[in-house]
Amino acid sequence: MDKDYIINIEHLKKSFNGKIVLRDINLKMCRGEAIATLGKSGTGKSVALQCLIGLLTPDEGKIEIFGQDISTLDYDGLNSLRTRIGFLFQSGALYDSMSVRENLAFPVLRNNSEFAEDELNNRIEKRLRDVDLIEAIDKMPSELSGGMKKRIGLARTLMLEPEIMIYDEPTTGLDPATTREISFLIKDIKEKYKITSLIVTHDLMCAKITADKLVFLKDGVYTAEGTFEEMEKSDDEFINSFFEFTDYGYKK
C-alpha cells in the first residue's frame, strides 16, 4: 500500500442472506483528509463503516489501516488498532448512569487503569473545552439536549486521541442550526488535530461543511467522487437528486 494512504479499501463485498449490500467498494484516504460518503437510506453506508473497524467481516476484499491488513489481526491486535480510531455513533451513545465526567473518563480507564488522576482530569477538561461544554462536566446525560449529547459524544471519542475519526450520521435528528454547529465542530476538530475523518451522512449541508471530498454510494458501489463544487455541477441524475433541495438554496 502507498505509504501516503492511511485507509485503503479494495474490492470490498458484503451480503446478508444472499442480498448484496456492498458490491465493490474501493476507497483511499490520505492522512488528514476528510471524506463524506452519501447515499440513500438503507444502501449500506453504515455497513461499510462496520467492516472498516472490524465489527463485520467482509465476504471479499481487503481493508488496510495504518498499513495493516485488518483481516490478519488477532483479537488483541484489532483492539489495539481500534484505540487509534474514534467512532461517533448517531445517538452519541452516552452511558445514562454516568455523569459527563465519568463518560469521558471511561474509555481511558478501560484501556489504562493506572492513568494518573490529575492527567485524566486535565484531559477531560481539555476535551470539553474543545466542544465548548466545560460547564456540563458534572451533568447527567438526561440533562443534555440532543446537540449537547452529540458534542459530549465527540469529546469522549477524542479522549484516546485518535488518528482517524469515523462519524455515522452525526447530524441525524438535529435542527438546521444545530446541524451547522455540529458540522463546523467536526471541521474544527479535524483541522486542529489533523485527524483523518470519514463522515457517513445523507445531509448535504454537513457534507459541504466537513468534507474535502464527497463519494456517492449507489447499488453497492461508490459511483462518483470529487469536491462539493465538482459534484454540484454533475449531470448524473442520481447525484443531482442530492442537490435539488438544500438548506442553502434550490439548484434546479
Give the pLDDT score at 199: 95
Question: Is 187 exposed, middle or buried, given 0-12, 13-18 or 19+ CB atoms closer than 10 A?
Answer: middle
Give the pLDDT score at 14: 96
pLDDT tens for the chain, 252 residues: list them.
445 789 999 999 999 998 999 999 999 999 999 999 998 887 888 899 899 988 899 999 999 999 999 999 999 999 999 999 998 877 668 899 999 999 999 999 988 877 789 999 999 999 999 999 999 999 999 999 988 998 999 999 999 999 999 999 898 888 888 889 999 999 999 999 999 999 998 888 899 999 999 999 999 999 889 999 999 888 898 888 888 655 544 344
Domains identified in the chain and CATH numbers: 32-57+67-84+162-252 (3.40.50.300), 96-161 (no CATH)
pLDDT tens digits, one per residue of 151-188: 999 999 999 999 999 999 898 888 888 889 999 999 99
Quote the CA–CA distance of 200 and 221 in Å, as a whole number. 15
User: Is residue 105 within 8 Å of residue 124, measured between CB atoms?
Assistant: yes
Q: Alpha helix (H) ranges present in the chain? A: 45-52, 75-82, 100-111, 117-130, 146-157, 176-193, 204-210, 228-232, 237-243
Give the pLDDT score at 1: 44
- Three-state DSSP at 233 gives coil
Residue among 123, 68, 83 nearest 101 (CA)? 123
What is the bridge-based pairing of β-strands 60-65 and 34-38?
unpaired
Quote the CA–CA distance of 16 and 193 in Å, as a whole number. 37
What is the bridge-based pairing of β-strands 60-65 and 68-69?
antiparallel
Give the pLDDT score at 249: 45
DSSP state of 110: H
Helices 117-130 and 146-157: angle between axes, nearest 10 degrees: 130
- Three-state DSSP at 148 gives helix
